[in-house]
């Protein structure tokens, strides 16, 4: 029971940690840690290279020293044979020179091993550094790609979530209500138009049929112009004719009178 309880608690703890941890931030932190390791590796590589360079220089110096002691021993023997120095002294000094040569040779052998070891370490470290650089570059590119994909997926998720939250039935209901409201307003406007047409008087209908300039004021103006045209010289004739017309007009309707007046005006 305790094992099962511990396992359940561990799984719940791991799940909570997964929710709290941001994979992108953790990846960036991991890459930063690798770069720190790379810096440390480069420093170590530089130190190993410095040791290898110094060891190689010492190796070359010991090789040259071995050659120099051998050359000196030969020169001492030659001088002894030539009588320039005592032959016994020449032999003793030549022996000492050969001992120095032997010591240098031993140092050359030890330095040669050290050079080989250092060169191998340098080559291995350089290989590891290059591998680490390549790995970091690859992971950085993958991290950039994953970040871009994460942004796209997040945006797509938001859009899909918004689309999924849209209720088509409620939207259609709102459109139907809007349509009913617009149709009601159109019907109301049409009814007001009918009411306005019903309020038109007979005078308005007559003036509309006759067109502009057909009002009572226009008729009076035309009559006044006609009177002025006839002048005062024909007033008596008009008076006589008018009496005759009045005699005849007593038996005519108002419409007939208006028609006769129009004929006279023509």
Cα separation, 73 vs 92, whole angstroms? 10
CATH 3.30.360, applies to 18-165: no
Cα separation, 249 vs 256, whole angstroms? 9
Residues in the chain with pLDDT values less than 50: 1-2, 16-17, 20, 233-240, 243-250
Predicted confidence at residue 64, as pLDDT, reads 92
Predicted confidence at residue 210, as pLDDT, reads 63
Q: Specify whether the CB–CB gap between 230 and 238 falls below 8 A.
A: yes
Number of other residues whose CB lies within 10 A of the CB of residue 108: 20
The domains of the chain are located at: 18-165
Cα separation, 186 vs 208, whole angstroms? 27
Q: What is the DSSP string of 156-179?
A: HHHHHHHHHH--HHHHHHHHHHHH
Q: Specify whether the CB–CB gap between 69 and 98 falls below 8 A.
A: yes
Give this prediction's pTM: 0.45
Angle subtended at Cα 63 by Cα 62 and Cα 69, rounded to the nearest 5 degrees:
85
Predicted confidence at residue 99, as pLDDT, reads 92
Q: pLDDT (tens digit, 9 = 90+) per residue, 146-186?
A: 888 878 888 888 887 777 666 556 667 777 888 888 888 88
């Amino acid at each position: 029971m305790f094992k099962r309880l511990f396992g359940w608690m561990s799984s719940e703890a791991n799940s909570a940690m997964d929710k709290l941890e941001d994979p992108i931030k953790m990846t960036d932190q991991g890459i930063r840690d690798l770069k720190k390791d790379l810096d440390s590796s480069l420093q170590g590589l530089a130190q190993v290279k410095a040791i290898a360079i110094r060891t190689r220089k010492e190796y070359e110096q010991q090789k040259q020293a071995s050659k120099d002691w051998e050359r000196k021993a030969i020169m001492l023997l030659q001088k002894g044979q030539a009588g320039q120095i005592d032959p016994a002294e020449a032999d003793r000094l030549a022996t000492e020179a050969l001992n120095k040569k032997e010591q240098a040779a031993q140092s050359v052998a030890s330095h040669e091993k050290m050079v080989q070891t250092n060169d191998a370490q340098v080559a291995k470290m350089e290989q590891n550094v290059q591998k680490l650089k390549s790995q970091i570059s690859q992971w950085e590119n993958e991290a950039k790609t994953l970040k871009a994909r994460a942004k796209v997926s997040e945006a797509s998720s938001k859009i899909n979530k918004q689309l999924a939250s849209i209720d088509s039935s409620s939207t259609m209901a709102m459109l139907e209500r809007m349509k009913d409201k617009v149709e009601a307003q159109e019907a109301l406007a049409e009814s007001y138009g009918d009411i306005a047409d019903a309020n038109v008087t007979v005078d308005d209908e007559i003036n509309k049929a006759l067109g502009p300039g057909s009002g009572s004021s226009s008729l009076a103006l035309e009559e006044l112009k006609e009177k002025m045209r006839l002048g005062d010289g024909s007033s008596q004739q008009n008076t006589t004719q008018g009496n005759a017309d009045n005699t005849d007009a007593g038996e005519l309707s108002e419409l007939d009178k208006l028609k006769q007046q129009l004929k006279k005006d023509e």
